[in-house]
Homo-oligomer: A and B are copies of this chain.
Amino acid sequence: MTDENLLDRIFAGELKELMVVSYIVLGNNQVTNRYIEDKYRMPVHAWSALYAIDLFPGLRAKEIRQLFPRPQNTISRAVSLLQARGLITQETSDADGREKRLYATDAGRALLADMIDFSRRRQEEWLTPLSPEERQTFFHLARKIATGPNLLESEVARR
Enumerate chain A interface residues (CB-CB to B < 8 A).
Answer: 1, 3, 6-7, 9-11, 13-28, 30-32, 34-35, 38-39, 48, 51-52, 55-56, 63, 66-70, 116, 118-123, 125-130, 134-135, 137-139, 141-152, 154-157, 159
Q: Which residues of B contact A69 (CB under 8 A)?
A: 23, 26-27, 30
17 additional contacts (CB under 8 A) given A15-B119, A23-B69, A35-B157 = A7-B66, A10-B52, A10-B67, A13-B55, A14-B116, A18-B119, A19-B67, A24-B151, A25-B25, A26-B68, A32-B157, A38-B159, A122-B154, A125-B150, A129-B147, A137-B137, A138-B142
* Protomer copies: 2
A123: which of B15, B66, B130, B147 is its contact (CB, 8 Å)?
B15
A139: which of B17, B22, B39 is its contact (CB, 8 Å)?
B17
A18: which of B123, B130, B147 is its contact (CB, 8 Å)?
B123
A55: which of B10, B34, B35 is its contact (CB, 8 Å)?
B10
Q: Which residue of B lies closest to A10 (CB)?
A: B67
B123 touches A17 (CB 8 A): yes
A27 touches B146 (CB 8 A): yes
